Amino acid sequence: MASLAQLASQWNISPELLEELSKYATPTGLADYSALAIIAGVSGAYLSRGYLWDQPDPYAYLAYERPQLKNGGQAGANASKETRNIAQKLEETGKNIVVFWGSQSGTAEGFAHRLAREISIRWGQDSMTADLSDYDPISITEIPQSKLALFIVSTYGEGDPSDNTAEFWSWINKAGDISLSNLHYAAFGLGNTNYKFYNRVVDVVVEGLDKFGAKALMPVGKANDAEGATEENFMTWKDDLFTVFKEQLGFQEVEAKYVPSLLVQEDESLEPIDLHHGEPHGSSEGSKGNQSSAVRTLSISKSRELFTSSDRHCLHMDLDLTSQPDLTYKTGDHLAIWPGNPDAEVELLLHVVGLSSRSDIPLHIKAVDSATKVTIPSPTSTNALFRYYLEICAPVNRDNVRDLAQFAPTPEAKSYLLQLGQDKDYYANVINRTHLNLGRLLQLACPGQAWSNIPLSYLVETLPHIRPRYYSISSSSVVSPRKPSITAIATTTPLPDNSDELIHGVTSNYLLAISQHAQSQPHPHGIRYHLNGPSDALQGGKVFAHIRRSKFKLPITGKTPLIMVAAGTGLAPFRAFLSERCQVQKIGKEVGQMILFFGCRNPAEDFIYREELEEMQNTLGDKLRIVTAFSRKEDTPRQYVQDRVSEFGDDVVKLIDEGGSFYVCGRAGMAREVEKAVGATMAKVKGWSEDEVNNWSKAVKKKNKWQEDVWG
């Protein structure tokens, strides 16, 4: 044992002081020895925890195990670790062509599956699809010359790649000494000319592939969603690709006949507890890159109407995170709602395919080969497929219209579908007069007769999967940390050539039905949903939802000036921003100057959050100015937010020069016009050339001083 002198030296205190302290540390009686014994016993017990006592129960996992994941369920299918080498995967599965996809909303993914399926069926070439995030990008360099790579990638926001393209995007931009001289490829991009960086992602991908020696089979194809032409743009590019197959590569076209890539089989031995009844798949984990939280069941604590108009509906909904302690959000994030399909559409489709009486029979969904990924939970039922997993309300594209002809119950129905699928103008004319989702199309083509020849596997393979709809959170996480709110307008669109028939937005009307039900009222248009959800999981006014992180954020310091521009429900995140700024001021901190430009149709009908904005203005005083624009106000010329931004141009430039941050939320077309207005004002005030304005625009966006949360 160390002497007092050694301890004193080690602890850097005098030996005399240590000797004095030791008098008080030495046990002198029975009580002291007893106390030491108790302390030693407690310490020993704590240190032995997990070894001698409180050992984890080795069978505890059984309490959380789901029987549906056994014996071929989704988890079992993914139990063995998949290779991340795409060249190896192609070799192992005997595939000649891989269709890579990068998709944010699911459109590019859907195109990829359609293309791979048609290549296999129509050209006899074994093909597969590949999520870009599932494979190491460097392994693309190993794809041999005898195989083809096709890329279908989307662009969103400010020229950003989709979440699942991020790893490949980083690699193609930063890769050094690599060779792609063996790679033959073709590429198609999805974009929107309402956005400044139209189809930037496919341009960058193609530039990178070419730089490393890859050989393009044909010019890059591009879709423009601003014109509603995405579907036709894709089909035109696909036809050009197939011409290359025939004329350059010598592929032989064969009679197109459906060959399933999935097996969908009934299994009546399964019990209801074994099935997935419609819970969102992937609900146990967040998305790749941790941009999204796990899907959870959230209660709607309060809902109210924001419009005064009787024929238009806009909802403010407060959700409650109390029951989900692991779920959090930050001001500016998005909340995703997972909807169900309307009862009438589910019942119609079940009826026309002759499955009404067997809709609850358990089904197993399995891949025919290892290159096909099963993305719908299995086992399940037809009712769950049509109600929760497949987009049965979406219009049927011309490719699928043509393919459905092979299952027609009558020659007349077959002839009708072939004409509709092959004639672009005829298809456009028909779809302008009626909303052709699958159930309605089949009923129209052959009234009163069941299409019992359509394999259920075909519907699972060809119908898009239901995707969540994203809403900007309209509350501040500082003010309301456990009750995020969303602002949703219920969309109801009359057909251009048939004003009596309406197209109802699935998710927004789903939310409207929940809100009306809470007040014991029917949906205004009589639309019914199964509001209790699968296995009554949503009973009592709940929804399946998750949080998605956003870059649309307030500056770190409250002193930073803000310029905010919104139209319609684009006001939602700015309600949150201003609420947070009010809170900052209330606790005695300084806030910067703010201008909010807000546009709507008519102040008497759809000026949402008007009273709240007035209260915030009273709280913030001269720190906040609200500038409005009304496009349909009686006896007043039409005004849009971009007009008002130009009108107050000097004030906008002043705040920008003072280090202000600029935010735009709403439709992409509006955001583009706002940027033009600001650019013209900067040129006028500062005497800049067009190049100088463009350089300034790029610089402020790179610094995150200009942010957009836009859509459409």
pLDDT computed for residue 156 by the predictor: 79
Tell me which of 247, 264, 285 is where a domain ends.
247
Cβ atoms < 10 Å from Cβ of 445: 24
Which residue has tokens 């559409």?
345
Q: What is the CATH number of the domain that holds 696?
A: 3.40.50.80
Q: What is the CATH number of the domain that holds 167?
A: 3.40.50.360
Cβ atoms < 10 Å from Cβ of 627: 16
Flag the least confident range among 238-242, 374-378, 592-596: 374-378
The helix/strand/coil state of 412 is: helix
Asked whether 162 and 191 are in contact (CB, 8 A), the reply is no
Amino acid present at 303:
S
* pLDDT cut 90: percent of the chain above it: 75
First-to-final CA distance of the chain: 78
Provide mean pLDDT across the span 52-66: 36
The helix/strand/coil state of 198 is: coil
Residue 633 DSSP symbol: -
Q: Can you tell me the distance from the alpha carbon of 432 to that of 95, in angstroms, rounded to the nearest whole number?
A: 40
pLDDT band (50, 70, 90) for residue 378: very high
Q: Can you tell me the distance from the alpha carbon of 122 to that of 173, in angstroms, rounded to the nearest whole number?
A: 35
Strands 160-161 and 148-156: what pairing? antiparallel
What token pair was written down for 355?
Answer: 């499955």
Tell me which of 201, 220, 247 is where a domain ends.
247
**Domain for residue 676, yes or no?**
yes
Task: Reply yes or no on whether the pLDDT at 123 is more than 80.
Answer: yes
Asked whether 278 and 533 are in contact (CB, 8 A), the reply is yes
Task: Reply yes or no on whether the pLDDT at 23 is more than 80.
Answer: no
pLDDT computed for residue 373 by the predictor: 87
- Residue 336's nearest CA partner among 572, 547, 549, 107 is 547
**Domain for residue 696, yes or no?**
yes
Average pLDDT of the chain to the nearest whole number: 88
Q: How many domains does the chain have?
A: 2
Residue range(s) defining the domain that contains residue 666? 562-711
Q: Can you tell me the distance from the alpha carbon of 205 to that of 108, in angstroms, rounded to the nearest whole number?
A: 15
pLDDT computed for residue 28 by the predictor: 54
pLDDT computed for residue 159 by the predictor: 83
Provide mean pLDDT across the span 201-214: 96
Burial of 251 (0-12, 13-18, 19+ CB in 10 A): middle
Asked whether 318 and 301 are in contact (CB, 8 A), the reply is yes
**Domain for residue 298, yes or no?**
no
- Residue 178's nearest CA partner among 144, 137, 219 is 137
User: Does residue 363 or residue 369 have the better pLDDT?
Assistant: 363
pLDDT computed for residue 24 by the predictor: 45
The helix/strand/coil state of 490 is: strand
Tell me which of 219, 247, 275 is where a domain ends.
247
Which residue has tokens 């995405």?
230
pLDDT computed for residue 104 by the predictor: 84
Q: Can you tell me the distance from the alpha carbon of 554 to that of 576, in angstroms, rounded to the nearest whole number?
A: 10
pLDDT band (50, 70, 90) for residue 134: very high
pLDDT tens digits, one per residue of 425-454? 999 888 878 888 999 999 999 999 999 999
Distances in Å between the Cα of 385 and the Cα atoms of 68, 99, 378, 454 are 16, 25, 10, 15
**Domain for residue 93, yes or no?**
yes
Task: Reply yes or no on whether the pLDDT at 623 is more than 60.
Answer: yes
The helix/strand/coil state of 376 is: coil
Q: Can you tell me the distance from the alpha carbon of 29 to that of 26, in angstroms, rounded to the nearest whole number?
A: 9
Amino acid present at 66:
R
**Domain for residue 238, yes or no?**
yes
pLDDT band (50, 70, 90) for residue 463: very high
Provide mean pLDDT across the span 656-676: 95
**Domain for residue 442, yes or no?**
no
Name the CA dihedral angle for 641, 471, 110, 228, rounded to a multiple of 10 degrees.
-20
pLDDT tens digits, one per residue of 283-315? 444 444 568 899 999 999 999 999 988 789 999
Which residues make Cβ contacts (< 8 Å) with residue 617, sequence separation at least 6? 624, 626
**Domain for residue 675, yes or no?**
yes
Provide mean pLDDT across the span 145-169: 91
Three-state secondary structure readout of 260-309 = CCEEEEECCCCCHHHCCCCCCCCCCCCCHHHCECCCEEEEEEEEEECCCC
pLDDT tens digits, one per residue of 549-576? 999 999 999 999 999 999 999 999 999 9
Cβ atoms < 10 Å from Cβ of 161: 26
**Domain for residue 409, yes or no?**
no
Q: Can you tell me the distance from the alpha carbon of 191 to that of 204, in angstroms, rounded to the nearest whole number?
A: 13
Three-state secondary structure readout of 1-67 = CCCHHHHHHHHCCCHHHHHHHHHHHCCCCHHHHHHHHHHHHHHHHHHCECCCECCCCCCHHHHCCCH
